[in-house]
Amino acid sequence: MAARQAASTQQPRPGRRAVLGAAMAGGAGAAGLLAAGSGTATAAGAAGRHGGAGPGRLPVPTVVAHRGASGYRPEHTLGAYQLGLDLGADIIEQDLVPTRDGQLVCRHENDITGTTDVADHPEFADRRTTKSVDGTELTGWFTEDFTLAELKTLRATERIPAQRPNNTLYDGRWTVPTFAEVLDWAAERARKRGRPVWLYTETKHPTYFRSLGLGLEEPLARLLRQHRLHRADAPVILQSFEPSSIQRLRRLVDTPGVVLLGAADDRPWDFVESGDPRTVADLITRRGLAEIAGYAQGIGPTLDLVIPRAADGSLTAPTSLVGDAHRADLLVHPYTLRNENAFLPADFRRGDDPNAYGDVFGAARAYFEAGIDGVFADHPDTALLAAEDFRG
């Protein structure tokens, strides 16, 4: 409670509120996904928070449909993306990994054991293997061992069926989408609704894949260029846990970028590979944030970096991260808000069922009051309702 009282003394900052209306309408046009104007990246990136350009055109707090509306549909399917859009999410998230033939597909992990029916395909039984990904040993089936044609014979399934049994209704309904398909889907939807469909696109394990000859950034940049989404004012935000991936993308396209941040003692895998000793704790110092602001428009920290949890799992007081990031001219889009008790801070859980919904509105209020610019949410409709109180 003390943490919530402390947080509630902080008001949303009007200067960062939406300038959605006219700017969004101006960004639609016949080109669908393509926003108006050519835009020019500045040292701190797109005009973003200040100029009402690039991500600055998004409503604040921005609600990101995390892996689509993954609270209601198997994640990273066109069904999950469409529902996210239908529920009103401001931006739809994709995680990208490559196939053996270098096609970008939407999966949270390259290990597809838990999110497809690959185990039911005897023709792929011999593809099951053990490998080390970013220092973690994994056994399963991996996208980089399948051609796109092979991967397309699989069907997507719910990742956490025990927690979200209703979502298994949709098991097998959709294939694993390619990013190219998502771009086509977004362009078509943009044309139909007369305004852009925003995408929030993450490169997964970029250093690992580059070591296999499957660099992610070049094909991603090619696709963005094909869809004219390579400009600073494109309705796309690129994201990665590996800063060097955002830096590489920055050299290829002007599309805005966000650096994702795990726990304070995490070390980005590109840092591990290059011998850079820094951890997330170093990246969120004022110096670290200023460096990020040289090539990215925002950060995507864990919610715990914004408001840490006490030993009992309840929220404490907000850290200085949001203010420090804003002083460095960086957007702050933390992850991940979920409705179920199991994922909520202890003081916002209701009852003993970990799969029942808790007081997600209370939790969201605490995070929004801490001044964040948006949030990744599995249940975007709930997050949008919570965000309404903070929009101008």
* Catalytic machinery residues: 66, 108
Cis peptide bond prior to 336, omega within 30° of 0? yes
Interaction pattern, residues 325-354, with ligand G3P; x per rule: CB under 6 A? ----------xx------------------
* Residue whose CB is nearest to ligand G3P in the complex, by number: 335
Interaction pattern, residues 58-87, with ligand G3P; x per rule: CB under 6 A? --------x---------------------
Q: Choose the binding region for Ca ion from 17-25, 198-206, 270-278, 340-348 (rule: CB under 5 A).
A: 198-206
Select the binding partner of residue 376 from ligand G3P, Ca ion, none (C-beta < 5 to 8 A, by kind).
ligand G3P
CA dihedral of 201, 207, 208, 210, whole degrees rounded to 10? 90
Specify the residue, 44 or 106, whose C-beta has the smaller distance to ligand G3P.
Answer: 106
Helix (H, G, I), strand (E, B) or coil at 86: helix
Confirm or reject binding of residue 300 to ligand G3P (CB under 6 A). yes
d(CA 76, CA 174): 10
Q: Choose the binding region for Ca ion from 69-77, 95-103, 121-129, 158-166 (rule: CB under 5 A).
A: 95-103
d(CA 176, CA 180): 12
Among 90, 202, 270, 369, binds Ca ion (CB under 5 A): 202
Helix (H, G, I), strand (E, B) or coil at 61: coil
Confirm or reject binding of residue 95 to ligand G3P (CB under 6 A). yes
* Amino acid identity at 25: A
Contact 264, 302 (CB under 8 A): no
Query: Mind giving me the DSSP string for 131-169?
Result: EEETTEEEEE-BGGGS-HHHHTTS-B--S-TTT-GGGGG
Shortest separation between residue 368's beta carbon and ligand G3P, angstroms: 17
Cα 111 from chain centroid (whole Å): 19
d(CA 290, CA 330): 9
Shortest separation between residue 162's beta carbon and ligand G3P, angstroms: 19
Interaction pattern, residues 96-115, with ligand G3P; x per rule: CB under 6 A? ------------x-------
Shortest separation between residue 237's beta carbon and ligand G3P, angstroms: 10
Confirm or reject binding of residue 340 to Ca ion (CB under 5 A). no
Confirm or reject binding of residue 95 to Ca ion (CB under 5 A). yes
Contacts of residue 311, defined as CB under 8 A and 6 or more positions apart, other chains included, come to none
Q: Quickly tell me which residue has 């859009």 as its tokens.
A: 85
Shortest separation between residue 264's beta carbon and Ca ion, angstroms: 19
Q: How many residues bind ligand G3P (CB under 6 A)?
A: 10
Phi–psi pair at 315, nearest 5 degrees? -70, 145
Helix (H, G, I), strand (E, B) or coil at 205: coil
Select the binding partner of residue 270 from Ca ion, ligand G3P, none (C-beta < 5 to 8 A, by kind).
none
Confirm or reject binding of residue 94 to ligand G3P (CB under 6 A). no
d(CA 227, CA 230): 8
> Both tokens of residue 106?
């939407």
> Both tokens of residue 110?
């390259």
Specify the residue, 202 or 373, whose C-beta has the smaller distance to ligand G3P.
Answer: 202
Interface residues with ligand G3P (CB under 6 A)?
66, 95, 108, 202, 239, 260, 300, 335-336, 376
Which positions touch Ca ion (CB under 5 A)? Answer: 95, 202
